[in-house]
Amino acid sequence: MKIRTLELFKVPPRWLFLKITTDDGLVGWGEPVVEGRADTVKTAVEELSTYLIGQNPLRIEDLWQVMYRGGFYRGGPILTSALSGIEQALWDIKGKYYNAPVYELLGGACRDRIRVYNWIGGDRPSDVKDAALKQIEAGFTAVKMNATEELHFIDSFDKVQEVMDRFAAVREAGGARFDIGIDFHGRVHKAMAKILAKELEPYRPMFIEEPVLPENNEALKEIAKYTSAPIATGERMYTRWGFKDLLQQGIVDIIQPDVSHAGGILETRKIAAMAEAYDIALAPHCPLGPIALAACLQVDACSPNAFIQEQSLGIHYNQGSDLLDYLLDPKTFDYKDGFVSIPQGPGLGVEVNEEKVREMARIGHDWKNPVWRHEDGTVAEW
């Protein structure tokens, strides 16, 4: 069996899907994308295809090593995301070849389902209380919200109070047992992160996510002095080598590698195992499409330290197309009581509606995140 073709589809709202076909007709799907840089990743996948055409798709580790090491320059969001989506599609093929879910080929399941959370509030968090109540009515037991809008290196306590008021409203709506993750989104610099972490302490957040940019991870040790809330990061970190220092220093409680960015399914499983050795939890990042979520769930199934899964159902980015729209059977992701079942089909466990993919690829997208500025005109972190 040899790899015959790679085909890419840029589909709304902001996704890139990859279809790999073998010479005996097996098909694997992956999701290689960087949000806002879909065309760049598409080109990277096309460049990497020269390492793949004519090769045995079952030799995933070898192909991964060739793509990662073969070009001399390595890592970063573009190259690693391209590699991640290819690797997902190869696992999809391998699972179908052996008629087994991917997790069975990675040691077997340690769980049948995993808890999930939904997003509320949008990029500029607003109406969070009403949004939380809707998620509770839908059966979810956890949500995540952005903490702030623009926040300068040193900013006003008015903005801090706005964060507290929003969080308090969600806590009131959900009660003590409702879990609330709060995403600083790298918008916050160290001085303000310390203040926010301390002020949020009485409201018991499920976790504080990316309190500073990953290039400033050394600040996490100091921020942790101001809160007992678990600190999470990792969505903008790549491969096990990118996580190595963070894990060794023991300065986070939750890692959030993205299976479409960090190196793929097996690489994320390796990162999860490294984290488990340091008594650190796993909560894969995934505000993406159904293929990426299916890949995450394969990792969750066989990773004992996974405790919750991000997913994009109803997220504010998904206007016009949502998570389930590209599946032949939307019930593949079986949501119940705040959990989602692990897909049981071969490979990634999802059947992609290729007709729908091709239809929407003719529409395409040019999604870019907004560019924000502070009141003084300087560029703000989004």
Catalytic residues: 185, 285
Residue 207 exposed, middle or buried by CB count within 10 Å (0-12, 13-18, 19+) = buried
Amino acid at 98: Y
Rounded to an integer, what is the distance from CA 207 to the centroid of its chain?
16
Closest CA to 306 of 64, 75, 106: 106
In contact, 83 and 261? CB cutoff 8 Å: no
Rounded to 5°, angle at Cα 320 from 260 and 14? 25
In contact, 18 and 52? CB cutoff 8 Å: no
How many whole angstroms separate alpha carbon 5 and alpha carbon 49? 9
Pairing of strands 15-22, 27-30: antiparallel
Token readout for 126 is 């607003």
Residue 359: CB partners within 8 Å, gap ≥ 6?
none
Residue 180 CB neighbours (<10 A): 23
How many whole angstroms separate alpha carbon 341 and alpha carbon 306? 14
Q: Phi and psi dihedrals of 328, rounded to 5?
A: -65, -35
How many whole angstroms separate alpha carbon 17 and alpha carbon 81? 12
In contact, 307 and 340? CB cutoff 8 Å: no
Q: Phi and psi dihedrals of 142, rounded to 5?
A: -155, 145
Residue 354: CB partners within 8 Å, gap ≥ 6?
19
How many whole angstroms separate alpha carbon 8 and alpha carbon 41? 10
